[in-house]
Amino acid sequence: MLKIRNARDFAGGAAMIAISLLFIWFGRGLEVGNSFRMGPGYFPMMLSLLLIVIGASIIVQSLFVAAEDGDPEPANWKAYGLVIVAPVFFGLALSGLGLAPTMFAMIVAVGFASKYANWRQSILLATFMAVCSVLLFTRLLSLPVSAFGSWIPFLHAF
Amino acid sequence: MDLLSDLWLGATTAFLPINLVYCFIGCLLGTAIGVLPGLGPTATIAMLLPITFGLPAESALIMLAGIFYGAQYGGSTTAILINLPGESSSVVTAIDGYQMARNGRAGAALATAALGSFFAGTVATVLLAAAAPPLAAIALKFGPAEYFSLMVLGLVASVALASGSLLKAIAMIVFGLLLGSIGTDVESGTPRYVFDVPQLYDGLNFVAVSMGIFGICEILRNLESEHERSVGVKKVTGLMLNRDDFRRIRGPVLRGTALGSLLGVLPGGGAMLASFAAYAMEKRMSPNRAEFGKGAIEGVAAPESANNAGAQTSFIPMLTLGIPGNPVMALMVGAMIIQGITPGPNVISDEPAMFWGMIVSMWSGNLMLVILNLPLIGLWVRMLTIPYHLLFPAIIGFCCIGAYSINNSVFDVFIMAIFSVIGFALSKLRFEPAPLLLGFILGPMLEENLRRAMLISQGDPSIFVRSPLSLSLLLGAIVVLVLVLSPSISRKRDEAFTE
Amino acid sequence: MRMKRFFTLAAFAASILAATSHAGRADEYPSKSVTVIVPFAAGGNTDALGRLVAEELDKRLGQRFIVENKPGAGGNIGLGDLARAEPDGYTIGMGTVSSNAINQTLYKTLPYDKEKGFVPLSLIATMPNVLVVNADKLPVNSVQELIELLKKEPGKHTYASSGVGTSIHLAGELLANKAGVTMTHVPYKGSSQAIMDVVAGHVDFMFDNIPTAAQQVKAGKLRALAVTSLDQASLLPDVPTMASVIPEFEATSWHGIFAPPGTPPEIVDKLSKEVQAILHDPAMKAKIEGMGATPVGNTSEEFAQFIDGETAKWAEVIKAANLPLQ
């Protein structure tokens, strides 16, 4: 009877197959052509098929070779959430709020992904980062982003 | 001696106090920029280009060149300290460099990078002075077929980057190649996997992807087991290299320099290819190969020398043929045109002071960089003693703004966020990120050159074996493939026996 | 009704704010800094020209003209931003033959309204391409000889370009179209790799921007057959024009300056006049000619007419070449 000896690799192999199916599905409109006249879809199609074979081999291997390290890993969902949402927030708020408030808010919030965070240090760090980034990026390197965005009416001009 | 009089001319240009100052400013800026994640030399030179309009041509170019190789130094600093390769060529440095930092050897890793780079830079500069035209002739030998074969060799060698399962490493390379196919197809102009998003027409940006998959992902991993690793890294032991370290890096630095000098001449990714070819080679040859992936000093020395040597020799196509080999060189050509010098095959005879001045300034720049960077090591290492809960928000902050600065668009910030999730999922499944990134970089070049070669040969695949250069590269790939596969076969056999 | 009064007050305050921030009258324009969007990466020709003009506008109008590079998707991303900007004269942008005449046909959808387009301010400069061949691979000395060779061996010879749908590629398609020849197109990412492969002899010929190609010609690495402008180019004075062989053959890359649709005519007029004056300044002319380009500086109407002609010309070539629409 076959049994999954390495659940992680089983999932990994399945993920690779899923990825290749995604590429095949979204590339279905691309012309494949043949080896002598390759179309835009040729390369992705061949790679996807290759990845399916590799994914399948990883699955097969997971049925026979047991995992070497099995120790469970702690999950820290709060940290994952904060760290992943932080850049998204940054991207959404940058043009409206401007660099300084966006950076400040993001640093304060993301700090709490760590359990050693405290308000005082976070606010100090965030202020430091906000000032630094404005000086460095908008003043010195003149990136096209204002320190205060259009959502902040009176400071916007600065 | 002609060469000596030429070098003397160069020295009189490069050692003018004003040019030394600009060289220093360039190196300093480059280092600073390289350390800031996301901000690469291309973006910086682009931003500073208008400032150079008012400078004399030599000073402007000396400063821009300083930014370029300064950034190569700086990029490896973040790769080593926080697992954040700022440049495609420092992806490989991150593998062992970051592990060295975790073992408390950040100082030694940074010193290796600085000294290896300085040695490589010196050798490459001499090479540039003595043999630029013949090296350029080699670059011209590489047509689409030769490039394709070189890429195949590179991909096969990149399998060696993985320290875990071979099968999973290959899966990552293929996934990387697939990600590389996103964007407009060069041959037909057909958009692929762009979902009508205009920002995707030029493909995913390497820096955004690597910041997500390396930098942010590493933060996620560190936070998850914060109670175990609250110190972040082991206590730092010794900032400088000991005698044993010197003995160990000697060979890798020499081989890395040789490989980097040669591959750097090739336009389009030569220097990058050099860094991981050097790593792969050391991993096969080193007596300490078991340490690779766990903090082997050779794994820092070889790619760092290779990429710095490559960075110097990548000036060759531009300086001798007037053809820029990478985006940074294209910007330098832009700077020259605005200065009224259009680089071409005659630039050496038309503008000897500029040409030789730049070459000599490269060496003086490298010297400045090593003088600048060795004392900075102490400072960088001290940065690691900042409590992690204060360090990581700052890293995220710089990553966000770095991603924004790539195209002045928040789109790349979102790409970085998406790839931090993908990278994290992959690390949970024990897939390694380095082969993925290399597949991602090499994929488009592999495909373009394959299809370009087939177009030129009117669909005749024998073009890949007709050229002796291409044939020998392909044969090389087969040899490497056999070498890579054999230990894993024997390892499997060993495992079977012990069971 | 306290709330209602509060809202009225707030609305009043907001309208004052809005009114003061829209100081859009021409006599006081510009009263604050102006953004100049360059839809290509820094360091290229469009960027250099944009910066030259912005610097002069800065001096003449007494306000900062800040260049912002918004590269991507053949200029479409930056132009999308320009189209969305407030049409008050405080955001203007650069455009080229690719972004403002070719992409209209090449792309199925653009991130802005194709019909509304942009308000042309002035054509800054045109830059001819030059047809260069690798002398060792193709034994031809003139355009006629090249056409004869291509007719004799259809599809056998290759020409390089900086990418599908670029002005360099379309110059080749125009040749194929007008001379009735077939040859194999080999696209590259950008023109520097393409010209390198022509110099090395991997590809037979190409049309390339004149400054870089002229250097290769002078060094004897490439043979120049013709320039694609109607007049001969100052950088290559001995080289004939394509039009002398194929009547009306013109394929130049050009760079102009635009305002978002709906910009008040007074401001358009003011900016256009300033740009024209800048481009007729001898020092400026010399700078632009040094880049291998021909300074123009025409009126908004002339420029609009020029763009219409270019768009129609390239639409025809793209349709004839049967290029995939993006």
Flag whether residue A105 sits within 8 Å of chain B, measured between CB atoms: no
Q: Which residue has the higher pLDDT, C42 or A132?
A: A132
How far off is chain B from A120, nearest CA to CA, in Å?
Answer: 12
Per-residue pLDDT at A69: 62
Flag whether residue C13 sits within 8 Å of chain B, measured between CB atoms: no
Confidence of residue B493 (pLDDT cuts 50, 70, 90): very low
Contact B394 A126 (CB under 8 A): no
Residue C170's Cβ-count burial label (10 Å; 0-12, 13-18, 19+) is buried
| B389 vs A37, A103, A116: nearest CB | A116
One-letter amino acid at C92 equals: I
Pick from C300, C294, C266: nearest CA to C280:
C294
Scan for tokens 């690495």, then name that residue. C221
Tell me: the pLDDT tens digits for B156-207? Answer: 877 766 667 888 989 999 999 999 999 988 888 888 998 888 889 888 988 8
Residue A154's Cβ-count burial label (10 Å; 0-12, 13-18, 19+) is exposed
Evaluate whether A107 touches A47 at the Cβ level (below 8 Å): no
Residue of C nearest to A145 (CA): C68
Contacts of A79 (CB under 8 A, 6+ apart): A113, A114, B220, B223, B224, B226
Whether residue C265 has pLDDT greater than 60: yes
Please list every residue in chain A whose beta carbon sits closer than 8 Å to the beta carbon of residue B174.
Answer: 47, 50-51, 54
Instruction: Give the residue from A47, A65, A73, A88 with the most B CB atoms within 10 Å of its CB, the best one to mutate.
Output: A47
Please indicate, yes or no, whether the overall pTM of this predicted structure exceeds 0.90: no
Contact A153 C68 (CB under 8 A): no
Contact B201 C72 (CB under 8 A): yes
Pick from B423, B495, B202: nearest CA to B327:
B202
Tell me: the pLDDT tens digits for C131-162? Answer: 999 988 888 999 999 999 999 998 899 999 98
Flag whether residue C48 sits within 8 Å of chain B, measured between CB atoms: yes
Evaluate whether C275 touches C93 at the Cβ level (below 8 Å): no
Alpha helices in B339-432, H assignment, sequence order? 347-350, 352-383, 388-407, 411-428
Confidence of residue B487 (pLDDT cuts 50, 70, 90): low
Mean pLDDT of the A68-80 span: 75
Whether residue C292 has pLDDT greater than 70: yes
Euclidean distance between CA atoms C39 and C205, whole angstroms? 29
Flag whether residue C212 sits within 8 Å of chain B, measured between CB atoms: yes
Tell me: the pLDDT tens digits for B83-97? Answer: 888 777 788 898 899
Domains recognised in chain C with CATH numbers: 32-127+252-321 (3.40.190.150), 129-244 (3.40.190.10)
Pick from B115, B92, B72: nearest CA to B314:
B72
Confidence of residue B330 (pLDDT cuts 50, 70, 90): confident
Euclidean distance between CA atoms B253 and B44, whole angstroms? 29
Per-residue pLDDT at A86: 95
% chain C with pLDDT above 70: 91
The tokens describing B62, both together, are 């000396």
Per-residue pLDDT at C136: 87
Per-residue pLDDT at B396: 93
Alpha helices in B184-313, H assignment, sequence order? 206-210, 217-224, 243-264, 270-285, 298-313
DSSP C209-276: EHHHHHHHHHTTSSEEEEESSSS--SSSTTPPBGGGTSTT---EEEEEEEE-TT--HHHHHHHHHHHH
Please list every residue in chain C whose beta carbon sits closer than 8 Å to the beta carbon of residue A153.
Answer: 17
Per-residue pLDDT at C20: 45
Contact A91 B187 (CB under 8 A): no
How far off is chain A from C56, nearest CA to CA, in Å?
Answer: 19
| B408 vs C51, C70, C291: nearest CB | C70
Residues from C contacting A (CB-CB < 8 Å) are 17, 35, 66, 68, 70
Instruction: Give the residue from A83, A102, A108 with the most B CB atoms within 10 Å of its CB, the best one to mutate.
Output: A83
ipTM of the complex: 0.93
Flag whether residue A142 sits within 8 Å of chain C, measured between CB atoms: yes
Evaluate whether B148 touches B453 at the Cβ level (below 8 Å): yes
How far off is chain B from A55, nearest CA to CA, in Å?
Answer: 7
Whether residue B422 has pLDDT greater than 90: yes
Contact A145 B404 (CB under 8 A): yes
Mean pLDDT of the B433-461 span: 89
Evaluate whether B339 touches B331 at the Cβ level (below 8 Å): no
Contact C72 B202 (CB under 8 A): yes
Euclidean distance between CA atoms B28 and B40, whole angstroms? 14
Instruction: Give the residue from C170, C193, C209, C289 with the most B CB atoms within 10 Å of its CB, the best one to mutate.
Output: C193
Neighbours of chain A (3+ CB pairs under 8 A): B, C
Per-residue pLDDT at B433: 87
What does the domain layout of chain B look like in residue ranges? 2-491
Residue of B nearest to C291 (CA): B337
Chains B and C form CB pairs within 8 A to the count of 147
Tell me: the pLDDT tens digits for B353-365? Answer: 888 888 888 888 8
Sequence-distant contacts of A88-92: CB under 8 A, at least 24 apart: A88/B413, A88/B414, A88/B417, A90/B400, A90/B404, A90/B410, A90/B413, A91/B400, A91/B404, A91/B410, A91/B411, A91/B413, A91/B414, A91/B417, A92/B410
Tell me: the pLDDT tens digits for A94-151? Answer: 988 999 999 999 999 999 888 888 899 999 999 999 999 998 888 877 777 888 887 7
How many residues can be counted in chain C?
326
Chains A and B form CB pairs within 8 A to the count of 197
Spell C177-203 as b/e; 16+ CB within 10 A means b: bbbebebebbbbbbbbbbbbbbbbebb
Tell me: the pLDDT tens digits for C61-88? Answer: 888 888 888 888 888 888 988 998 888 8
How far off is chain A from C179, nearest CA to CA, in Å?
Answer: 26
Classify residue A38 by its DSSP letter: B
Flag whether residue C31 sits within 8 Å of chain B, measured between CB atoms: no
The tokens describing B390, both together, are 């204060």
Q: Give the distance between the most distant pair of CA atoms in chain B.
A: 72
Residue A53's Cβ-count burial label (10 Å; 0-12, 13-18, 19+) is middle
Contact A8 B414 (CB under 8 A): no
Per-residue pLDDT at C272: 92
Q: Integer distance in angstroms from the first to the last C-alpha of chain C? A: 57
Q: Which residue has the higher pLDDT, C192 or A50?
A: A50
Name the percent of chain B in helix, strand, coil, to the closest 5. 75, 0, 20
| Among the ranges given (B142-146, B383-387, B432-436, B447-451), the one the predictor scored with the smallest mean pLDDT | B383-387
φ, ψ of residue B204 to 5 degrees: the values are -75, 150
